Homo-oligomer: A and B are copies of this chain.
């Protein structure tokens, strides 16, 4: 096998209560990437469609992630990457993670899978570091593993794939505004009240329990972020109205996707998720803010090969 086309899914990090530890994988929302072996011993990016991103491998998250993998192996195999971006950078649904994770997945596959999916996470994190300055795994882990994932610990890295109920759907609205990562970070406080931290880890426990027992109501009751959302939501116009609209339309719960500005809601069943998306969209329709809407099952499989044909 000398060439592979892969689907690189979008992901939702944090998932309300699980700031910095939880993430989930979307189904058909994502990029495509073609990776092929070359004879020149170099890592090149020959084509990028859909977004204006750097072609130099050292300045592109896919290039950096792939290089980290090749260096770990001591491999001198050359690769060329084509990237077909559909996820908008800065949307908060894991655009850089899709590219980072997609590159390491495809390169690993073409090399005969020297690494497991779990082992690929640290290489993909190098791409995230280029994108945001931080080695975070809450998007690349669900992108690689599929479903829900929990980053229990970074030192040592310990990522757990959680059970994901089959009727769980996400509705996502991406308002076309820019939230700078620096702003999303600067609003965070370095210390939090113990009482709120207890509330938060009670909800993390409730959410994880709800996922395993497929208790949708418990999942809904647990989808509360009392620490980060009250601060970051101030950067997203009409956030509370979107939340209220989602709840009224039957969503289990909602929150900020990653560091925003996208807002996600989880629902039981596709029909409800569609109604919820519509209700969320209505809030911005009334305001004149442009937006994208997505509805997706939580995907059990992460990045995966697709039949090769031109996109």
Interface residues of A in 17-48 (CB under 8 A from B): 17-22
- Select which of B21, B203, B227 is within 8 A of A194 by beta carbon: B227
Chain A, 161-193, contact with B by CB distance < 8 Å: what is the 0/1 string?
A: 011000000000000000000000000111111
CB of A153 within 8 A of chain B?
yes
Is A238 engaged at the interface, CB distance under 8 Å to the other chain?
no
* A145 CB within 8 Å of chain B: no
- On chain B, the residues within 8 Å of A198 by CB distance are 19-21
- Taking the closest CB of chain B, its distance from the CB of A174, in whole angstroms, is 26
Asked if residues B197 and A192 are in contact (CB atoms below 8 Å), the reply is: yes
Q: Does A291 contact B (CB under 8 A)?
A: no
B188 touches A191 (CB 8 A): no
Could you say which of B152, B200, B204, B206 contacts A160, with CB atoms under 8 Å apart?
B206
CA distance A151 to B199 in the complex (A): 9
Among the listed B200, B203, B218, which residue makes an inter-chain contact with A197, where contact means beta carbons less than 8 Å apart?
Answer: B200
A191-B194, A194-B189, A197-B197 in contact; A205/B208 too (CB < 8 A)?
yes
Q: Are the CB atoms of A158 and B206 closer together than 8 Å?
A: yes
Residues on B with C-beta less than 8 A from A205 are 18, 21-22, 150, 152, 160, 162, 204-205, 207-208
A212 near B150 with CB under 8 A, answer: no
Q: Least Cβ distance of A258 to chain B in Å?
A: 15
Within the complex, the shortest CB–CB distance from A36 to chain B, in Å, comes to 38
**A22 and chain B: residue at smallest CB distance:** B205
For the complex formed, measure the closest distance between the CB of A26 and the CB atoms of chain B, giving whole angstroms: 20
Which residue of B has the minimal Cβ distance to A222? B152
A202 interfacial contact with B, CB 8 Å: yes
Contact of A150 among B22, B160, B206 (CB under 8 A): B206
Report A146-160 residues with CB < 8 Å from chain B CB: 150-153, 158, 160
**A222 partner residues in chain B, CB cutoff 8 A:** 152
Given A191-B191, A209-B162, A221-B158, does the pair A197, B152 have CB atoms closer than 8 Å? no
